[in-house]
Structure 1
Amino acid sequence: MTSSIDLAVIGGSGLYKFPGLENTSRQSVDTPYGPASGDVVIGDFAGRRIAFLARHGESHTLPPHRVNYRANLWALQHLGARRVIGVNAVGGIRADMGPRVIVIPDQVIDYTHGRYTSFCDVEGAGVKHIDFSEPYTASLRTALIGAAHRAGVAVIDGGCYGATQGPRLETRAEIARMKRDGCDLVGMTGMPEACLARELELDYACLALVANFAAGCGDEAEISIEEIFAHLAAATAQVPPILAELLKT
């Protein structure tokens, strides 16, 4: 299927509907990999057509390890998307990546297990060895950083996203290991989304919204879910102006 979709956005925790989306229609896509997280909502934003999909479902019913990442990416491509922005809630490991900070990472370490990580994992599919040395599309990252600057939104350029299984938060020891490994952020949904987008030859980049410091990295004795969602709400409010500028390019 072809479409005039200019950008697809996959919303993470706290972003279940895209603010300001007008003239919307809902598309339910049958995929070879089962159901996507929900309907894809297509509409007008900043004078362009975008597709929006809530990664966890619009009522946040899907935990990170149960998201059908293959169906989500396939559905967006089927509807005509060629550029995809993944919006991900994360924890900060690096000292300058505290709550409400927005990061555009450039590397990934995958600690997940038991997820379908490739479209090759079906009977009769060919084996495809993608180059994943740079997991995010450089040109889209550059455009996203420039869009944030034009929108007046501070972002950090670069950082390593460590993807964990979830849905539980990590132990202090696990975060200490991830820090030794070179991770700057920790999240639960960055993989296999990024590598599946690469297999489909989609341009893909991540807007990582820091909801909290990871275990042992901040002053808090205990991480409060209420505080996490308050920080997420503040960071999420910065996403539409960034994407409005991105759509000008």
Structure 2
Amino acid sequence: MSAPPTGRIGIIGGSGLYDLPGLTDTRWVAVDTPWGAPSDELFFGRLGEVELVFLPRHGRGHRVPPSEVNYRANIAALKQMGCTDVLSLSAVGGLRADLPPGTFVVVDQFIDRTFAREKSFFGTGLVAHVSMAKPVCHRLGRHVLAQLAAQEVPHADGGTYLAMEGPQFSTLAESQMYRSWNCDVIGMTNMPEAKLAREAELCYASVAMVTDFDCWHPGHDSVTVDAIIGVLLGNAAQARQLVSGLVAQLHADTQAPACGCRSALDHALITAPSARSPEMIHRLQGIAGRVLQAQG
């Protein structure tokens, strides 16, 4: 059997995700990037023959609020460490009555309402525009769905994630507006994470774990942290099982990826080679080196 078409697998989520049975060769590693340090050190481990890299999105102990997460450094660090596939797990509020707390939603679309975050690796001196029409990896998403079905976890195949700035929860008027937009879940962390993963040519899948109905729901008009944490603890075991099962599925998948994620930059760089900033070229080697070297 040929080697699976996967390098290291990156896992972004809560700090408890790396407590997996059978995880060996574990170590914390400090990583720096051209965009600064990520939220925390990266936790490396091996599950069978597959190497995993865990990144606590908010740092151990949940120290970093959503708007202050260094999303560029987080994605760059995973890319630098050889990750090709990234599974993002996050707590969200449910915007539909049929997505109660405890449901896992395999997100396939986003609406980005954040405004206080750096959203691209590119900029003045080297401009790029990647397609976000299909913002997640469908190949990776199919594996996630298969594993959730095997676990018999309540889940939804697809859903639109409304990314809000936070850190406060929604007003009732906002919650009702997002429902009128046909959004399914609401959270504070998957943007610009998904955009940056696409720029870094990573296969990225988002699993949104519903912890509460947002304040639109008559029985949940006052979202509390205590209630959310209670559901989070209940979801934790299922999330760890999801990670373990997904690793096994990806290792067994020997088909070359046809998703296009790993060639997202093929036609994205718009700045003429002669006009590109040498400083930006140097800074972007870890993200876009594949196309920069090919284009001279």
| TM-score relative to the length of structure 2 | 0.78
Matches within 5 A, 1:205-216: 205-216=205-216
Cα deviations by residue, 1:214-246 (Å, 9 ceiling, x for unpaired): 012251342221111000111121012112221
CA contact (8 A) 1:103 1:207 kept: yes
Secondary structure at the aligned position of 1:166 is classed as coil
CA contact (8 A) 1:8 1:84 kept: yes
1:172 maps to a residue whose letter is L
The CA deviation at 1:46 is 5.0
Unaligned runs of 5+ in 1: none
Instruction: Call closer, same or farther: CA 1:218–1:104 in 2, change over 3 Å.
Output: farther
Instruction: Call closer, same or farther: CA 1:221–1:214 in 2, change over 3 Å.
Output: closer
Matches within 5 A, 1:39-118: 39-45=41-47, 47-118=49-120
Count residues in correspondence. 242
2:247 maps to a residue whose letter is L
Distance in 2, matches of 1:17 and 1:246, equals: 13
Matches within 5 A, 1:146-161: 146-161=146-161
CA contact (8 A) 1:85 1:206 kept: yes
Percent of matched pairs sharing the same residue: 36
155-164 vs 211-220, which deviates more? Answer: 211-220
Is structure 2 residue 239 aligned with structure 1 residue 244? no
Instruction: Call closer, same or farther: CA 1:24–1:209 in 2, change over 3 Å.
Output: same
Distance in 2, matches of 1:99 and 1:140, equals: 24
Runs of 4+ in 1 over 3 A off after TM superposition: none
Distance in 1, matches of 2:134 and 2:113, equals: 17
Secondary structure at the aligned position of 1:245 is classed as helix
Secondary structure at the aligned position of 1:219 is classed as helix
Is structure 2 residue 222 aligned with structure 1 residue 222? yes
Question: CA RMSD of the aligned region, Å?
Answer: 1.5
Is structure 2 residue 150 aligned with structure 1 residue 119? no
Answer 1 or 2: which has greater helix percent: 2
Q: 1:11 aligns with which of 10, 13, 20?
A: 13
Distance in 2, matches of 1:220 and 1:94, equals: 12
1:68 maps to a residue whose letter is N
Unaligned runs of 5+ in 2: 1-5, 250-296
Is structure 2 residue 33 aligned with structure 1 residue 31? yes
Cα deviations by residue, 1:174-233 (Å, 9 ceiling, x for unpaired): 111111122110000010000100000000001111111101225134222111100011
